Chain A
Amino acid sequence: MDDTTDAELIARHKRGDQAAFEQLVLRWDTRVLNLAYRLACDREEAREIRQIAFMRAYRGLAGFNGDARFSTWLNRVVVNIWRDRVRQQIKRRRDPESGEPVPDRPETGALPCPSAVSEQREAGRIVAEAVAALPDAEREVVALRHYQGLTFAEIAEVVDAPVSTVKTRMSRALVRLRGWLKGVEL
Chain B
Amino acid sequence: MSNNERVPSVCETVNDEMLSLVYGELADGRRTVVEAHLAGCSGCREVYDGYRQSMSFLDTWPEIEEPLDVRTLAHDNRRSWMVRAKPVLSGVAAAVAFFVLLTAAGGTAEYRDGRLVLSLGAPATPTPTPAPTLDPQEQTEAMKRWVRAVLREELDRGMSLVVEAVHQDLNARDNVQERHRRLLARATDLRREADRRDYEMALRSLAREVAEETNLMSGDINAVIQMVAGRGRTPADVQ
Which residues in A have some Cβ–Cβ distance to B below 8 Å? 18, 22, 25-26, 29-30, 33-34, 37-38, 43, 46-47, 50-51, 54-55, 58, 117, 120-121, 123-124, 127-128, 130-131, 142, 145-147, 151-152, 167, 170-171, 173-175, 177-178, 181, 184, 186
Contact = CB atoms under 8 A, between A and B. Distances in A.
Interface string B55-78: 111101111111110101110110
Interface centre among A18, A142, A167 (most CB of B within 10 A): A167
A30 B62 contact: no
A55 B16 contact: no
Contacts of B63: 30, 34, 37, 147
A25 B64 contact: no
A47 B20 CA distance: 32
Q: Chain A at the B interface: mostly helix, strand, loop or mixed?
A: helix
Contacts of B57: 123, 127, 130, 177-178, 181, 184, 186
B68 A178 contact: no
B58 A142 contact: yes
Given A55-B77, A171-B51, A177-B58, 4 more contacts: A26-B70, A54-B73, A146-B55, A147-B58
B60 A54 contact: no
Nearest to B17: A167
B64 A33 contact: yes
Contact of B53 (A58, A123, A178): A178
A18 B72 CA distance: 14
Interface residues of B, number: 29
12 contacts: A18-B74, A25-B68, A30-B67, A37-B63, A50-B68, A127-B57, A131-B61, A146-B58, A152-B19, A173-B54, A174-B55, A175-B54
Contact of A33 (B51, B56, B68): B68
A181 B55 CA distance: 11
A175 B50 contact: yes
A167 B21 CA distance: 12
B116 to A, nearest CB: 38
A55 B72 CA distance: 11
B61 A51 contact: no
Contacts of A124: 60-62
A54 B72 CA distance: 11
B150 to A, nearest CB: 29
A114 to B, nearest CB: 15
